[in-house]
Amino acid sequence: MSLIAGSYERFIWGFKLKPSEPQTLSLTPLFSYPSHLSAIKTLAAAGPVAASGGADDTIHLYDLSSASSLGSLHDHSASLTALSFYTPPNLSFPRNLVSAAADGSVCIYDADPFVHLKTVLPHRKAINDLSIHPSGKLALTVGHDECLAMINLVRGKRSFYCRLGKEASLVNFDVGGDKFFMVMEEKVSVHEAEDARLLCEFENKKRVLCATPCENGILLTGGEDRCVTAWDVKSGKVAYSIEEAHAARVKGIVVLTKNSSGAFSDDDPHIVASASSDGVIRVWDVRMAIKDKPNPLAEANTKSRLTCLAGSALKSLRRPQLGKNIEGEPKATDNNESAE
């Protein structure tokens, strides 16, 4: 399992999460690299590939298996705000990369090789977040224009657009794609994916800055309350919470289950990694939070202001190929150890 964090200081940080002793884990540094000219705003990872988007209007790509840079993409003319990979269920390498920017544009890329396919303008103002449906055929976006948009990724065009009445900062499909979630400050709404019908709403103590769906109808949120909270989507109630998970705001959450990584056995717990704006990344056994406040299974301090977190647990079957629109860069590694 590889974890990747981005920071205001332009650095991207890579770690390998692996068992160190029975029932314990360790975060081993893989690389740190000043890949952007300004702050890193968003990250995505799938299989052996990771991508970062910055306020310098650029996407940078990384090969996690060799801890090296793959180059950069320059098809946006505004700050990157969201990135997402689509990986078909039977493949270990992503098929597409979709990116969103502060000018309301969305770029669709073929990920093998990385070639720009289409640019869409689903919003009039900056896009806050995007999420790709598990089928890979459509994506949802929310933006500063207080609207929700649906993009047909097959045709490369906007297929739906509606006003929300309030700006949403996050949007995300659930694991199966039957529902999607939207975050508006402290409030989280759950909708039916087919017709956007509102199913339930729940409200956090403070503003939600990151949200990640789990299996079994659980949504994990983190934010200004410094907690990692698990919500039961059906009831809209808190299932469990890691109180004071960090000393500062939670800016990213990555979920791992026993089925998502070959590094962990069937007896291992559900694993959640969280990152805070104070630079600390922590790994938790969320089952312990049901009974008592857990201690982190692993921890790393980047000593930087973290903005986002992503993770990948799949191994590469081949080295990523480069398209003609990618500018090559030097290796992004301080360590030659391979990521899992």
Q: What would the pLDDT profile of 11-43 be if each residue is shown by its tens digit? A: 999 999 887 665 678 899 999 989 999 999 999
The residue-averaged pLDDT of 124-147 equals 97
Contacts of 136 (CB under 8 A, 6+ apart): 86, 88, 95, 96, 153
Structural domain count of the chain: 1
Query: Token pair for residue 51?
Result: 């991508």
> CA 138 to CA 142: how far, in whole Å?
14
- Give a yes or no: residue 340 inside a domain: no
Could you tell me the two tokens for 11? 């650095």
Q: Is residue 227 part of a domain?
A: yes
Residue 261 has pLDDT above 50, yes or no: no
More confident residue, 223 or 256: 223
- 327 occurs within a structural domain: no
Mean pLDDT of 268-278: 83
Q: How far apart are CA 294 and CA 314, in angstroms?
A: 27
Mean pLDDT across the chain, nearest whole number?
87
Collapsing DSSP to helix, strand or coil, 90 comes out as coil
**How confident is the model at residue 340, as a pLDDT?**
32
Q: Is residue 323 part of a domain?
A: no
SS (H, E, C) 148-189: EEEEECCCCEEEEEEECCCCCCEEEECCCCCEEEEEECCEEE
Interval 277-295: pLDDT, tens: 999 999 998 878 877 778 8
pLDDT in tens, 84-107: 999 998 888 899 999 999 999 999
pLDDT for 200 beyond 70: yes
Written as six digits, the tokens of 62 are: 């990384």
* Residue 320 is assigned to a structural domain of this protein: no
pLDDT of 212 over the 50 cut: yes
We report the CATH number of the domain holding residue 44 as 2.130.10.10
Q: Lay out the sheet containing 40-46: strands in order across.
A: 40-46, 49-54, 59-63, 68-73
> What is the value of pTM for the model shown?
0.88
One-letter amino acid for residue 296 of the chain:
P
Residue 249 lies in a domain: yes
Q: Identify whether 325 is part of a domain.
A: no
First to last CA, the chain: 5
Q: What is the mean pLDDT of residues 322-328?
A: 44
How confident is the model at residue 323, as a pLDDT?
A: 55
Mean pLDDT of 210-216: 90
Q: Give me the pLDDT at residue 321, please.
A: 56
CA distance 191 to 194: 9
How confident is residue 263, by pLDDT bands cut at 50, 70 and 90?
A: very low
Which residues constitute the domain of residue 131?
Answer: 2-312
The count of residues in the chain is 340
Q: What's the CA angle centered on 263, arms 259 and 266, to 5 degrees?
A: 45
Q: Rounded distance, CA 339 to CA 156, Å?
A: 34
